Structure 1
Amino acid sequence: MTGSGSGSGGTVRLRPPNHTLDRRVVGWWRTQCLLLTTGPVAVLGVLGAFLAPARLWLLPAAGALAVLGTAASVFLPLWWFRVHRWEVTDDAVYVRTGFFWQEWRIAPMSRIQTVDTVRGPLEQTFGLATVIVTTASSKGAVRIEGLDHALAAELAERLTVITGATPGDAT
């Protein structure tokens, strides 16, 4: 890719993608973290309430897990929001995630096989969607989570048009 990303056939280079996710993704991630924490805390709490011999360690464990889960739900989504980036050019789909262990994914348009848009119940509640770009890579699909659902639909349509016009066999 050239510096402009105009599809002029230059070399594709690793660079930070330009776009952040929709701000509502923070609430979606927080809700997911809280839901993942609630189950184990409830199980430990119920077991602690009914198993007198284990009460001394089950209830404090439930409390500690609740505090850690709540803290993680508050802080981790903000951090994730700061480090997740994405971009689509005429040449490729770029996604960058992670802070300590950064993962940069580039899917050249000529390698894209399918483009899917997914909206789970929780994503629908927050008005978000995920675009999944499948390639022949053994690493798996490139996912752009936390997009406004209308933007995700437009992006999927744009990717379909670009990949249809891009030469190559997507293998």
Structure 2
Amino acid sequence: MTTLRPPRNQVDPRAVAWWTTERLILSVIVVGVAFAAYWFFTDRPWWLTLLVAALAVFCFVMSFVGPRMLYRFQRWEVTEEAVYTRKGWFEQTWRVAPMSRIQTVDTKRGPLQRVFGLADVKVTTASASGAIAIEALDADLAADLAARLTAITQATPGDAT
């Protein structure tokens, strides 16, 4: 019997910079919209000034703290029997997909991921919970992992249903 243990591999360290950049872009948009609404559509009471300032501080602090926490907790592993992932630092999610349940393996690279040389691997399974995503891998490692998963699943008996 196999015991559930944390997957061994961390995501690529460049993921921290990628996630930080994504969150900073989103924070600038959110704080910009909040500030514009504050500036143009209110009489600017003191409590609203405090609220917009608190939102700005929260967004920018979380842009730096969140990615570092995610990096500490996000793990993945692929064995001959299954794909394992663990995500989240506040609410942790563990996923295990036996090789016999894998239907497709895809890689994805968004524009910002390409800047940082990263990619995601998405493993679609015969599960109502949906696909398993292994995020923020080195692009070459992601391609190799997709090829390895494809080879293992082709050699694994079963029909992935």
Q: Is the pair's TM-score, using the shorter chain for normalization, greater than 0.5?
A: yes
Deviation larger for 91-100 or 79-88: 91-100
Alpha-carbon RMSD: 1.6
Residue in structure 2 matched with residue 41 of structure 1 by the alignment: 31
Rounded to whole Å, the distance in 2 between the matches of 1:52 and 1:19 is 50
Q: Deviations over 1:9-65 (max 9, x none)?
A: xx4432211100000101111112222222221112122222351464554333221
Rounded to whole Å, the distance in 2 between the matches of 1:12 and 1:111 is 18
Deviation larger for 57-66 or 37-46: 57-66
Match of 1:68 among 29, 39, 58: 58
1:16-165 equivalent positions in 2, closer than 5 A: 16-54=6-44, 56-165=46-155
Residue type of the alignment partner of 2:159: D
Seen in structure 2, the aligned counterparts of structure 1 residues 100 and 57 have a Cα distance that, compared at 3 Å, is closer
Deviation larger for 72-81 or 99-108: 99-108
Seen in structure 2, the aligned counterparts of structure 1 residues 155 and 59 have a Cα distance that, compared at 3 Å, is same
Tell whether the 8 Å contact from 1:44 to 1:59 is kept in structure 2 after alignment: no
Tell whether the 8 Å contact from 1:49 to 1:55 is kept in structure 2 after alignment: no
Gaps of 5+ in 1: 1-10
How much does 1:99 deviate?
A: 3.4
Relative to the length of structure 2, the TM-score reads 0.92
Residue type of the alignment partner of 2:39: A
Rounded to whole Å, the distance in 1 between the matches of 2:146 and 2:2 is 22
Gaps of 5+ in 2: none
Residue type of the alignment partner of 2:74: H
The percent identity for this pair of structures is 53
Residue type of the alignment partner of 1:114: T
Alignment: residue pair count? 161
Residue type of the alignment partner of 2:78: V
